[in-house]
Every structure is written in C-alpha cells, then in structure tokens.
C-alpha cells in the first residue's frame, strides 16, 4: 500500500495507446516527507505520518516545530497518516514522490468538494419543481408538501430540504492512474475528481 498528498491542478485530456481521448485530472503529488512512524508497541497500530506543503515558522506552534525538527524536516502545513507496505524501509525524513505510483494502478482518492452555500431542493436534491401553470406562479422551485396535517402534525427527520451544500469530504474508489510524470511529480487520474483547483488531494492504493 502506498499513500501521498497532492494538489489538484485541473483537468485536460490525453491520448491513450489506441489513439482514444481520455479525460484526466492532473494532481501534483508531493514531495511529501515522513515525519513519524507509529508502531503497535507504542501507539497500538502501524502507520506512517507524512507532511506536505511548507509553512512559515511564525505560523507553526513550538510543539510542531520540535516534531518537525526531530524528523529533520522543514515546517509543513498538512499532516496525514497512511499505511505503507514498505513500513520497515521508510525512515524519518524520507522523501515521497509521485514515482511511487505507476500507470495502471487503481487508487482511492479523497478530497473536499466545492462549497455551494445554501441551496434549494432543485439544485441540492435534483427535485423537478412544481408546474408552471394551474394557478401557481411563484412555487416553481419549491419543495412541495413536507409533512402531514392532523397526524402526526410534524415533519419527519431526514426530509430532503434546502440547506448547506458541498464542502464535504468525498472519497472515490478504484480510480485508474492513466499516467505518471515522475520528473514533474504529476499523477494523471482518469476522469474528474471533486474539489476546486489547488484543493488538497489524498491518494492511496489498496491494502
């Protein structure tokens, strides 16, 4: 199993070996650095903590500065834990780049989706809306009835209604890696993935 952090750079399209156009999302993956190795004896489980993106010293707490200094790594902004199949070989301060992945891998991608703010039921839940005629003119995008009359005289929990939409962590599984540009630390993932440009992307292979 492998894991890495990256930044979503945008979408494009490339040609495969058969000359077919493949839509891809480009992720600038790494470089990341190993800042801690967690063991079953000390922490109760095996994991490798990696860090990504530089951070100013004045914005880093003293505790984290000491944590990074112990690993001989510059101050970083983002920390995540992954399981690595080569756990024993990794050392504190080890650099992780996109070349740990290869074309043909199927990976799990996690990213925070775009925030849409408060949205109505038509956009949020794909409601059809009401008719344009038959005596109504201002209820086209309204949800319609949301409850009962005399019994039980309340709205049940879980009714689809308007509300805050987006800005949620979304995980996609079995996303194919189309191409890896190790020189520029770029991973080309097939299709689209959630999130805005420059969103932080977590990529990991199956256990």
Q: Phi and psi for 41 in degrees, rounded to 5?
A: -65, -40
pLDDT value for 134: 83
Architecture of domain 3-119+171-205: Beta Barrel (2.40)
Rounded-to-integer distance, Cα 81 and Cα 39, Å: 12
Nearest residue to 72 (alpha-carbon basis) of 95, 92, 43: 92
pLDDT value for 176: 94
Q: Is 112 exposed, middle or buried (0-12, 13-18, 19+ CB in 10 A)?
A: middle
pLDDT value for 166: 95
What count of Cα atoms within 13 Å lies in the side-chain half-sphere of residue 171?
A: 7
The residue whose two tokens read 């860090």 is: 51
Q: Phi and psi for 43 in degrees, rounded to 5?
A: -115, -10
- 207 and 150 Cβ atoms separated by less than 8 Å: no
Domain assignments of the chain as residue spans, ordered by start: 3-119+171-205, 120-166
Chain CA centroid to CA 193, Å = 8
pLDDT value for 169: 96
pLDDT value for 139: 85
Residues of the chain with pLDDT under 50: none
pLDDT value for 185: 92
């Amino acid at each position: 199993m492998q894991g890495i952090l990256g930044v979503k750079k945008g979408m494009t399209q490339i040609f495969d070996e058969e000359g077919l156009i493949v839509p891809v999302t480009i992720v600038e993956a790494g470089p990341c650095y190993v800042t801690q190795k967690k063991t079953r004896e000390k922490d109760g489980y095996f994991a490798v903590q990696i860090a990504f993106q530089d951070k100013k010293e004045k914005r880093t707490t003293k505790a984290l500065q000491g944590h990074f200094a112990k690993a001989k790594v510059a101050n970083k902004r983002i920390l995540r834990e992954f399981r690595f199949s080569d756990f024993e070989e990794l050392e504190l301060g080890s650099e992780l780049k996109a070349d740990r992945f290869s074309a043909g891998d199927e990976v799990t991608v996690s990213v925070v989706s775009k925030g849409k703010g408060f949205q109505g039921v038509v956009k949020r839940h794909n409601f059809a809306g009401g008719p344009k005629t038959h005596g109504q003119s201002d209820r086209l995008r309204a949800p319609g009835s949301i409850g009962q009359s005399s019994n039980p005289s309340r709205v049940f929990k879980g009714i689809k209604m308007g509300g805050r939409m987006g800005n949620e962590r979304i995980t996609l599984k079995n996303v194919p890696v189309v191409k890896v540009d190790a020189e520029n630390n770029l991973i080309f993932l097939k299709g689209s993935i959630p999130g805005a440009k420059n969103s932080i992307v977590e990529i990991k292979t199956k256990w």
